[in-house]
Amino acid sequence: MKHLLLIAAGIALLALAAAPGCKPAPADDEDTSRPAAFGYQQSVHDALLEEGRSAYLQYCVGCHGDTGDGNGPAAKFLHPPPRNFITAHYKFSSARAGRLPTDADLKRTITQGLRGSAMPAFRLLSTRTVEALVTYLKSLSPRWKEEDASMPVPLVDDPYRREADKSEAIARGEALYHGLAICWSCHPAYVPEAKINEYVVAFGNPAREGFRPNLHLAEAKPNSEGIVLYPPDFLRDFVRAGTSLEDLYRSVAAGITSTAMPTWYDSIEIPGANPGDPPRASAGDLWAIAYYVQDLLKKRPPLLKPNTFNLRAYAQGIYLHGPPPKPTQATTPESEQPTNFEPDF
Ligand code: HEC
Ligand code: HEC
């Protein structure tokens, strides 16, 4: 009898220890998304996985589906459709196009969302829950076990960082965009044909004979799953993975998985025409492209006109017994009233 009691107490203690709330938080540099061989680490992984599963069922299942195949009940109304976590063709990542994203990439997507698509920003989830969701997403595809962990493409120094005036960076970006990287084979061109050829020749290539029709519009492209995607027109559209220079550097340097957009980091090094000449292009130029694209994005029309009335800040009460007495003078001068301008354009 005594033995039985001891065993029961032992089991109760073990069960307590296994309760998710009792687990010590994983260290920052610990990769908890891969099952560890045994012992303590294994149970940390299991607890995170379980938390991830329940958060997934609460927040993600409606779009991404029960099994994670991207076929939730809302999916048929969405374009682009929600990501299929089983095939795991994640688009926005710091790793080379075609490779799996890093944990940091997944965390960024979950907390910041993908603007211009249905993917919301889950800013209020705790770091622990986001970590748990990442662990769960990674359990949905065998690719995470089969493939080595991805490395982000290197973040080279921004050669223009210290310059107060970025116009040189933007001009260099315009030349690279049109004359070397030929981004306009999918995205729109933003300068006339003659100017494009000027840039092409300056990079040492023969002038183009002809240009695609609708050169100044985006060219829709099917991705590897047959879904037609629209390369953004930077003067008009949203970009999903963020508008900061670093976000744009990442999108251009790493490329976008399963789309026609390649990893530019691997093809931007162009040596000079003769030995001893400076290179015609190098990795630092990825920053020039980022400055140029960001400059185009800044020129987009605001989503709402400036000084439109902000309903949320100035809610009108519905009074059953007449409104309260009016203040005798306006408390907020018009110039200080909030506008609906987007803070991060
Ligand atoms: C309202 C629908 C909706 C909900 C809810 C939703 N997503 Fe998404 N999610 C999408 C769509 C749509 C995309 C694809 C966007 C695209 O391809 O540009 C997406 C893409 C993603 C991606 C892929 C990003 C990439 O690089 O390809 C991840 C990761 C993701 N969602 C995670 C989550 C998680 C985790 C949750 C729950 C916490 C969630 N989503 C909830 C609609 C949703
Ligand atoms: C072969 C076609 C192709 C070429 C060339 C191309 N892109 Fe793209 N790009 C795409 C497609 C398709 C998308 C949209 C993917 C999606 O979100 O659905 C895209 C998306 C982007 C995005 C937005 C990422 C986001 O956060 O939504 C940026 C920025 C971008 N491209 C910049 C460039 C630049 C700069 C170049 C030239 C250096 C370039 N692209 C060349 C096809 C291309």
Q: Which domains does the chain have, with CATH numbers?
A: 44-146 (1.10.760.10), 167-298 (no CATH)
Q: Does the CA dihedral 339-112-98-86 come out positive or negative?
A: negative
Q: pTM of this prediction?
A: 0.82
Residues with Cβ within 8 Å of 325's Cβ and at least 6 positions away in sequence, in order, are none
Average pLDDT, the chain: 85
Q: Which residue, among 197, 152, 165, has the nearest Cα to 178 in the 3D structure?
A: 197
Q: Are 265 and 141 in contact (CB under 8 A)?
A: no
CA dihedral defined by 193, 199, 201, 203, rounded to 10 degrees?
A: -150
The pLDDT-based confidence of 261 (bands split at 50, 70, 90) is confident
Residues with Cβ within 8 Å of 42's Cβ and at least 6 positions away in sequence, in order, are 35, 36
Instruction: Kindly give the distance from the C-alpha atom of residue 292 to the centroid of ligand 2, in angstroms, as a whole number.
Output: 14
Task: Please tell me if the CB atom of residue 62 comes closer than 6 angstroms to any atom of ligand 1.
Answer: yes
What tokens appear for 59 in the block?
């927040």
Please tell me which residue, 15 or 237, carries the higher pLDDT value. Answer: 237
Task: Please tell me if the CB atom of residue 119 comes closer than 6 angstroms to any atom of ligand 1.
Answer: yes
Q: Residue 305 has what pLDDT? A: 65
Coil/strand/helix, residue 158:
coil
Q: Whose CA is nearest to atom 34 of ligand 1?
A: 60
Instruction: Kindly give the distance from the C-alpha atom of residue 86 to the centroid of ligand 2, in angstroms, as a whole number.
Output: 24
The pLDDT-based confidence of 241 (bands split at 50, 70, 90) is very high
Per-residue pLDDT of 203-227, as tens digits, reads: 999 999 999 999 999 998 888 888 8
SS (H, E, C) 95-149: ECCCCCCCHHHHHHHHHHCCCCCCCCCCCCCCHHHHHHHHHHHHHCCCHHHHCCC
Per-residue pLDDT of 162-178, as tens digits, reads: 999 999 999 999 999 99
Task: Please tell me if the CB atom of residue 83 comes closer than 6 angstroms to any atom of ligand 2.
Answer: no
Is residue 2 over pLDDT 70?
no
Task: Please tell me if the CB atom of residue 183 comes closer than 6 angstroms to any atom of ligand 2.
Answer: yes
Residues with Cβ within 8 Å of 278's Cβ and at least 6 positions away in sequence, in order, are 272
Instruction: Kindly give the distance from the C-alpha atom of residue 230 to the centroid of ligand 2, in angstroms, as a whole number.
Output: 9
Is residue 238 over pLDDT 70?
yes
Q: Are 221 and 258 in contact (CB under 8 A)?
A: no
Per-residue pLDDT of 277-329, as tens digits, reads: 999 999 999 999 999 999 999 999 877 666 665 554 454 555 566 666 666 65
Counting from 1 in the atom list of ligand 1, the atom nearest the Cα of 93 is 26
Task: Please tell me if the CB atom of residue 256 comes closer than 6 angstroms to any atom of ligand 2.
Answer: yes
What tokens appear for 166 in the block?
């970025």
Which range has highest mean pLDDT (34-48, 193-207, 330-344)?
Answer: 193-207
Q: Residue 327 has what pLDDT? A: 61
What tokens appear for 118 in the block?
């249905």
Is residue 19 over pLDDT 80?
no
Q: Which run of H or E residues covers position 287?
A: helix 285-298
Counting from 1 in the atom list of ligand 1, the atom nearest the Cα of 133 is 35
Residues above pLDDT 70, as percent of the chain = 76
Counting from 1 in the atom list of ligand 1, the atom nearest the Cα of 60 is 37
Q: Residue 222 has what pLDDT? A: 87
